Structure 1
Amino acid sequence: MNTSALAPGRTVARVGTKSALGPTATSDDSAMLFAPQDPRLTDPFLLAGEERFSAPGFEWHPHRGMETVTTVLNGVLEHGDGNGNAGLLQAGDVQWMTAGRGIVHRELAYRDEHAHIVQLWLNLPSDRKLTESRYQDLTVSARPRVVRPGAVLDVVSGTVEGVTGPALNHVEVQAVTVTLEPTATLTYTLPAAHRALVLVVSGRATVAGRALAAGQTAWSDPLADPAGDSVLLLGAPDGDDTTQLMIYSATPLGEPVAFGGPFVMNHHDEIEQAYTDFRTGGFGEVPRLARIAYDR
């Protein structure tokens, strides 16, 4: 029996469009896909940004109390952190970093050439805000896929149609990258208790009947009855180009959120403590890792 046929269908509660910020001190071109204006509407997701950068990129900076999930869309991302992790990520690869109690890291364009990324900030629950930091490289070549007529689902996290992605979670996240051929449709199953975001990375799409263009994000809130599964109907219009979507979903935490630059805690006194800890060496020394070598 196809249980998805019995699951309740989802609707789109709201649609957001990315805000172009232009060049910055660190980025050639920056955009905010969604901002932390009201965390209750995006919980447990905090914000998402899109960056195109060459030099200088994002040199050493700290984080605490959250996770960053970075997808490389184009180019090569060079990374390093205070735990000794360093390496290169290419198009399609995902970097899942748990800041937890505190981490210092950097994100640069390899050879100072070009990197194009989308970075999502995921909140941590209060009892895991100060968990040990952790780093995961989820390369596209090592991730499992679900193939359906006209659709490919690249599973990053959680279990989709019996296929489990490689991400280790503190917050149970279901995450996929979906590629749709023109005119293809897809019934996507996810827990009814989840809040879902669907970002149109390229092309055009319909999400629960709502038409979206590249750079727009559709939000679907948890259902009134959170038990069991639900389904989200996706589609791509006719044309010559494929559509690429990023779909992330998780159960809202329902906790207070305090922002303080690169730190996300529950209360402002915890933000002040984070800055104190960082200034007094509580995150460790700023690393002296050299740039990854290459032949000119």
Structure 2
Amino acid sequence: MAAPVARGVDRITAKRRLGPDAQVDDKALIIVPTDPASTDPFLLLAEDRFSSPGFEWHPHRGIETVTTVLGGVLEHGDNLGNAGALEPGDVQWMTAGRGIIHRELAYRDEHAHTLQLWLNLPAGRKMAETRYRDVLAAARPRFTRPGAVVDVVSGTVEGVTGLALDHHPVQGVLVTLDPGARYGLPVPAAHRLFAYVVEGDAEIAGSPVAEGRTAWSDPVPDAPGTVLDLAAADRDREVQIMVYSGAPLREPVVMGGPFVMNEPAEITQAFQDFHAGLFGPVPRQARLAYDR
């Protein structure tokens, strides 16, 4: 069997800081949704810090959202009847599909710090049934290698399979490296990947990538497999890197607020369906009575 090919870094991007707005205390865009062909199948990655009001009831269609809690407690609910609270390290994987209404708030309006990734859905699955799964840190499949802990959120890595339910195969991991440690992450050759450095300073495929920056690697055609070299350049503290990969869909992308479809007419239809009540009624759930 041929040896896997070492991945390279095609580009490194910085956050676009937007600051506070009517919903959040601070916002930054890690993946900016201005050129979806270059990030396909990933549309957006937002970093939000919020206390009040947060994100009250709002709809989505045509995407999956992956929300990772970095700090505080995230209170959530949706019109499927799901409600709960997520703590640091927890991940929520939600298929908006044909249409969902949900909210994301800071518990007790105290503080939440989150990363939310938007995954595009293939045209044939944009109207899939909605569904939802919490991938809690305490129960998440993980494995260790010398100096490294690999939490598997989605896909299968070294025989360990994540708990996420996705409609388009995506590999998603959180890799924590001891100071000075390194790890070679297997990645399907057909996948485009991004590696976002959550904490510390890293070296990715030989390139220095500082905290808060993102390294991208495009698909490697005809390779038997690929490996992404991850190293902790910071020798004084742990380094945490979020690495997600997926095969590009190579389909038209039209974004309209919370909806992502393939044609402008489908965006118009999504707004009409929402306002006609076809996503279901806006819930009247009370806030959580939850104690840590």
Same fold (TM over 0.5): yes
Q: CA deviation at 1:272?
A: 0.3
Residue 243 of structure 1 is matched in structure 2 by 239
SS at match of 2:5: coil
Residue 75 of structure 1 is matched in structure 2 by 72
Give the one of 239, 249, 254 matched to 1:253. 249
Residue 168 of structure 2 is matched in structure 1 by 171
157 and 279 in structure 1: CA distance in 2 versus 1, 3 angstrom threshold: same
Q: CA deviation at 1:36?
A: 1.1
SS at match of 2:49: strand
What residue ranges of structure 2 are gaps of 5+ in the alignment? none
236 and 274 in structure 1: CA distance in 2 versus 1, 3 angstrom threshold: same
> Is 1:182 the counterpart of 2:179 in the alignment?
yes
Residue 103 of structure 1 is matched in structure 2 by 100
Give the one of 80, 87, 90 matched to 1:90. 87
Residue 265 of structure 2 is matched in structure 1 by 269
Separation in structure 1 between the aligned mates of residue 121 and residue 288 of structure 2, nearest angstrom:
31
Residue 148 of structure 1 is matched in structure 2 by 145
SS at match of 2:18: strand
Q: CA deviation at 1:33?
A: 0.6
Separation in structure 2 between the aligned mates of residue 31 and residue 211 of structure 1, nearest angstrom:
21
Task: Name the amino acid aligned to 1:126.
Answer: A
Separation in structure 1 between the aligned mates of residue 165 and residue 290 of structure 2, nearest angstrom:
31
83 and 238 in structure 1: CA distance in 2 versus 1, 3 angstrom threshold: closer
Separation in structure 2 between the aligned mates of residue 190 and residue 252 of structure 1, nearest angstrom:
14
Give the one of 220, 224, 245 matched to 2:221. 224
Residue 112 of structure 2 is matched in structure 1 by 115
Q: CA deviation at 1:295?
A: 6.8
Task: Name the amino acid aligned to 1:91.
Answer: P
Task: Name the amino acid aligned to 1:124.
Answer: L
- Is 2:95–2:166's contact at 8 Å kept on the other side of the alignment? no
Q: CA deviation at 1:146?
A: 1.3
Separation in structure 2 between the aligned mates of residue 131 and residue 283 of structure 1, nearest angstrom:
13
Coordinate RMSD, CA, aligned: 1.3
Aligned residues: 292
SS at match of 1:284: coil
- Is 2:28–2:48's contact at 8 Å kept on the other side of the alignment? yes
- Is 2:29–2:46's contact at 8 Å kept on the other side of the alignment? yes
TM-score (norm 1): 0.96
Which region of structure 1 is more displaced relative to structure 2, 22-31 or 233-242?
233-242
Residue 194 of structure 1 is matched in structure 2 by 191
TM-score (norm 2): 0.98
Task: Name the amino acid aligned to 2:142.
Answer: R
- Is 2:16–2:32's contact at 8 Å kept on the other side of the alignment? no
Q: CA deviation at 1:294?
A: 4.3
67 and 295 in structure 1: CA distance in 2 versus 1, 3 angstrom threshold: closer
Q: CA deviation at 1:241?
A: 1.1
Residue 209 of structure 1 is matched in structure 2 by 206
Which region of structure 1 is more displaced relative to structure 2, 236-245 or 188-197?
236-245
> Is 1:285 the counterpart of 2:281 in the alignment?
yes
SS at match of 2:73: strand
Q: CA deviation at 1:19?
A: 1.1
Separation in structure 1 between the aligned mates of residue 290 and residue 239 of structure 2, nearest angstrom:
34
Separation in structure 2 between the aligned mates of residue 228 and residue 192 of structure 1, nearest angstrom:
7
SS at match of 2:265: helix
